[in-house]
Structure 1
């Protein structure tokens, strides 16, 4: 599950998978090889329960410059729609992945690169990270799920501004508007991403998956529907061995199964 454009690594001891976009000379722009690799990798990760967490990163000093314009040979509206429809399968699968996803962003996260970062549960960024939805500059609209993720992450008014103006946002502003969780120095970025991934991988996989999918549904559901989902999810969580052991450890005042890593 790796080629020159996309690297896959799996640590069996921690359960952490890492996907590295690997076209540094092109700022990791998405070409067809990378798109196919992401589709295959995310499908495999979705069906591999040994994977407890996923880290997304880019090789070199950039995360992803978006789609490779030099590789976009779209002959018709149908061709353009099919091109995006091919993306939606793995983008939807990544957004719905019932395990932690950590995005480690250095340098540019433009266009589809910004969209890809938004699929993560936690986005870490270096001080030199730059985010942009530049689609208006080339007469296109956001893709890779950004119409869904961006308003949910930054709010509708801010999402409209970022899409309509196509302006660049630095790491600090991205953190202020909610698109970035932490700002980390470049030489510590991957270490911090792995540390957070390892911490979340130690949480109850059942509880985490249930909570993530409930949160993903919450903005499109009514109160009654969410209360019913909450009841069903909690019933399942109560029945897990993880919960039973966690309660016993609490009673015994021993080390918890799950702990959030300090900075």
Structure 2
């Protein structure tokens, strides 16, 4: 179980470590890692802690247990609710997306098996997706009479373009890992069973980057790249701050001294 105290602790959200890499596993294999409300709350709290408050983690890897990523929301919990109750639950899921997109650390997704519904939404909200060729992706929301949620109305068009996103969201088409890589949904395609190892390897490369620079790069890409003026403003706002950082000075000295830099996030 998590080494830190969580208000909404659910043991089906598990955290392990590989050096500076925090591996978050959705572990509800009896339901193909479907996410009930208690699990979503624990996932929200866990990711927020790792992204914002944990000094030992530089990169987060999100994956699923037993050869599946996630079937999405647990349909068995979709009982009749008031509009206000549903809004509260959706806000909890949206906070996970806000933290992954706007948080200061990279989040890598390792997908084996299925990433359906909100499971696909979570994957698309990460910075980089590694998937096996046999993985399957589906924005299955319309199959149960709902519009896509958990941020995917914004994240999917940003990742693969509006035309293809409209097709996948409207038709609830299922595609495999090969097709997902072809259209740019998946960044790295691997053999079945290798997604987590490849994601960790990529995470270790990212962990070598300067943390402050990475944090501001993520902020620029998430909040400052919707149009030219916003992108240029992000450069003007962020670059002078980074030029004052100890990591920038360390990188310059390391270049002159022909050695690898050691970044501290300062």
- Is 1:65 the counterpart of 2:56 in the alignment? no
Paired residue for 2:15?
A: 8
| Partner SS for 1:187 | coil
RMSD: 1.7
In structure 2, the gaps of 5 or more residues are 3-8
Alpha-carbon displacement from aligned partner over 1:230-250 (angstroms, at most 9, x marks no partner):
022111111222222222222
User: How far does residue 117 in structure 1 lie from its aligned partner after superposition?
Assistant: 0.3
Alpha-carbon displacement from aligned partner over 1:180-199 (angstroms, at most 9, x marks no partner):
01111233322211111111
Q: For 1:89 and 1:127, how far apart are their aligned partners in 2?
A: 30
User: How far does residue 7 in structure 1 lie from its aligned partner after superposition?
Assistant: 0.5
Q: For 2:150 and 2:60, how far apart are their aligned partners in 1?
A: 18
Q: For 1:169 and 1:206, how far apart are their aligned partners in 2?
A: 37
The number of aligned residues is 255
Paired residue for 2:192?
A: 186
* Cα gap change, 1:107 to 1:247, in 2 (>3 Å): same
User: How far does residue 80 in structure 1 lie from its aligned partner after superposition?
Assistant: 2.0
Paired residue for 1:29?
A: 34
Paired residue for 1:261?
A: none
**Which TM-score applies when normalising by structure 1?**
0.91
Paired residue for 1:212?
A: 218
* Cα gap change, 1:74 to 1:93, in 2 (>3 Å): farther
Alpha-carbon displacement from aligned partner over 1:81-111 (angstroms, at most 9, x marks no partner):
2221222223211221111110000000000
Paired residue for 1:111?
A: 117
Q: For 1:225 and 1:164, how far apart are their aligned partners in 2?
A: 30
Contact in 2 for aligned 1:5/1:33 (Cα 8 Å)? no
**Which TM-score applies when normalising by structure 2?**
0.90
Alpha-carbon displacement from aligned partner over 1:109-150 (angstroms, at most 9, x marks no partner):
000000000111110000110000011111001111101101
Alpha-carbon displacement from aligned partner over 1:210-252 (angstroms, at most 9, x marks no partner):
11110112343x4333323202211111122222222222222
Alpha-carbon displacement from aligned partner over 1:53-100 (angstroms, at most 9, x marks no partner):
100000001100011101111323332222212222232112211111
Contact in 1 for aligned 2:101/2:218 (Cα 8 Å)? no
The residue correspondences of 1:1-263 to structure 2 (distance < 5 A) are: 1=2, 3-11=10-18, 14-45=19-50, 46-220=52-226, 222-255=227-260
In structure 1, the gaps of 5 or more residues are 259-263
Contact in 2 for aligned 1:74/1:80 (Cα 8 Å)? no
User: How far does residue 172 in structure 1 lie from its aligned partner after superposition?
Assistant: 1.1
| Partner SS for 1:25 | helix
